[in-house]
Amino acid sequence: MVKLHIDLRILILTVLWLTASGAKAALPIGDSRQVFIDGRFIEEPRGVELVVHRPHKTGQVVVKCEYPWEERLGQYHSVLYEGGVYRMWYTVYGKADSNAVTVRSIAYARSADGIDWEKPNLGLVEIYGTRKNNIVLGHGFGGIKGATHGCMVFLDPHAQPNERFRLVSNPAELGKTLQIFSSADGIHWELTHSNIMKFRSERHHLDSQNVIFWDERVGRYVAYVRRNLRPIASQGRSVARAESENLSHFPDVDDCPPVLRFDEQDPEYYDPVQKAKIQVADFYTNGTVKYPWAQDAYYMFPSEYFHYGTFLTDFRKGGRPVNAGSVDGRFAASRDGITWQRYDRRAFVPLGIKDEWDSRSIYMAYGVVPGGSEDELFMYYCGSNMLHGWDREDQHRQRNKRILRRIGGAPNIEADGIGRLIIRRDGFVSVRAEYSGGEFLTPVMTFEGQELALNVDTSAIGQVRVEILDKDSKPISGYLLDDCDEIYTANEINRVVKWNGESMIGELAGKPIRLRFVMRDADLYAFQFRRTASK
């Protein structure tokens, strides 16, 4: 878990919000679910802090390499849950065949439960003398003969039925630009939007998992893409954002403002040769999603890349540093997809213990999907005991391997796989009260509904009570703190709040009110005013 003490920061954010919206304006939230990722719903905090919760590593490898066309996994994978089926598109490397010099293709897997995955024999293309394979793009299928690069799939609510699945990629044979392939079933793909994003300068290249989706909040397609800022002796990979009314064209990468980048809190190394501080980490992928189960919540799961070459004098003597290093999964959150909170920046999905299959590199697969129950969500990641790029340079390959093995950075036996993660629904960030107790107020709000439900965890000792106040912060009769039935021994995603044994609060709907949360040793993840009262 990672924590952020929120007293001063929350107050600053609250003042900014009140200044922009007017101190007496009530925030309309309707019956939408609300999560705690910043100061929007936290005023006058005392004894509380924001806490980021890591997902649970199940240890299950759901996809591993088994066939000639998947000798090794790529870094870019995407998962969706649609029509009662979990679907995965994953990148693989295989030996060259008659259609390509470099065989990096996209394969397809499916699952009924998100746990046990099937690689169907699709028969779309013949490779290595057989049609019994699960390739959906590459090896000649989908019009792509050579290497694919990047794999991000999303469902487009504005597409025709025959194009409802969209796949973002940049196959090498189509140039250094982003392409969109479309499909009715997620299996049969064709190129529908060519060269939708490019770059004028040679500073950039889009060989990453670039993300595009429809954002209903702004009424546009948004793209989160790789942009190289090129500080001294580093590519300075950052995440840039762009918008478009349609999928035909996005602004050039050069014109896209970065929304996540290296800053003064990130690690640097002083290089006596360059006589300058060198950036030693940057962001390789971003994994940005708009969280569909709450209002105004964006989550980013960037893979942060730590560069070994900066520290290895072997690589700097008479030549450029090798592009090699370790990668793990990080977390950030936003209300608008533009301004991101990185909290205290600890690893969200950390590397595995030495010599485990995920001990050197972790790339988050794109997508957050429903889990096996309403209480949980599934996520996936590609883990490896190999460093990023540790043997990429042909002319220096053996030397690089030898040096990296000597410092313990590369394996003798390579291993990789796609693992499964479990996280609580809404469970990325909570407001946590101290053991001695804490409390906070929400801003003035208006709601629609009949009852108030909390996503809360008190464990054995924790307690939570809620008081309802009017717009002038005066407690409302019948909803006083002493009227609230104590919430204890509770670990629920929809715990209904009651006052004097009754949950119905419909008489307050549409009126400006505030909530006062008084807590002790508890985590509060979300709240929601629900239209239908519990039986």
Question: Per the domain annotation, does 535 fall within a domain?
Answer: no
Whole-angstrom distance, CA of residue 359 vs CA of residue 139: 31
pLDDT of residue 535: 57
pLDDT of residue 319: 47
Instruction: Give me the residues paired with residue 420 across strands.
Output: 380
Share of the chain above pLDDT 70, in %: 87
pLDDT of residue 4: 45
Question: What does residue 396 show for φ and ψ, rounded to 5 degrees?
Answer: -120, 15
Residues 145 and 40 in one domain: no
As given in the structure block, the two tokens for residue 336 are 């608008």
Task: Report pTM.
Answer: 0.92
Whole-angstrom distance, CA of residue 351 vs CA of residue 400: 22
For residue range 285-296, what is the model confidence (pLDDT) as tens digits?
A: 999 999 999 999
Highest mean pLDDT among 4-13, 136-145, 378-387, 389-398: 378-387
Of 424, 451, 466, which closes a domain? 424
Residues 350 and 475 in one domain: no
Whole-angstrom distance, CA of residue 364 vs CA of residue 351: 12
Residues 346 and 474 in one domain: no
* Residue 1 pLDDT class (50, 70, 90 cuts): very low
Q: What is the CATH number of the domain that holds 94?
A: 2.115.10.20
Helices (H) and strands (E) in the chain, counts: 3, 40
Kindly report the three-state secondary structure assignment for every residue of 42-101.
Answer: CEEEECEEEEECCCEEEEEEEECCCCHHHCEEEEEEEEEEECCEEEEEEEEEECCECCEC
Which of 13-22, 190-199, 379-388, 514-523 has the weakest average pLDDT?
A: 13-22
Of 367, 392, 424, which closes a domain? 424
What is the domain extent for residue 471?
2-48+433-530
Distance set, CA 424 to CA 183, 290, 295, 430, 524 (Å): 32, 17, 17, 11, 12
Residues 21 and 80 in one domain: no
Residues 17 and 63 in one domain: no
The total of structural domains in the chain comes to: 2
| Nearest residue to 456 via CA among 494, 501, 499 | 494
Of 363, 393, 424, which closes a domain? 424
* Residue 414 pLDDT class (50, 70, 90 cuts): confident
Average pLDDT, stretch 380-400? 75
pLDDT of residue 271: 78
Residues 44 and 111 in one domain: no
Residues 237 and 118 in one domain: yes
pLDDT of residue 442: 98
Tell me which DSSP letter residue 174 carries.
Answer: G
Question: What does residue 452 show for φ and ψ, rounded to 5 degrees?
Answer: -110, 125
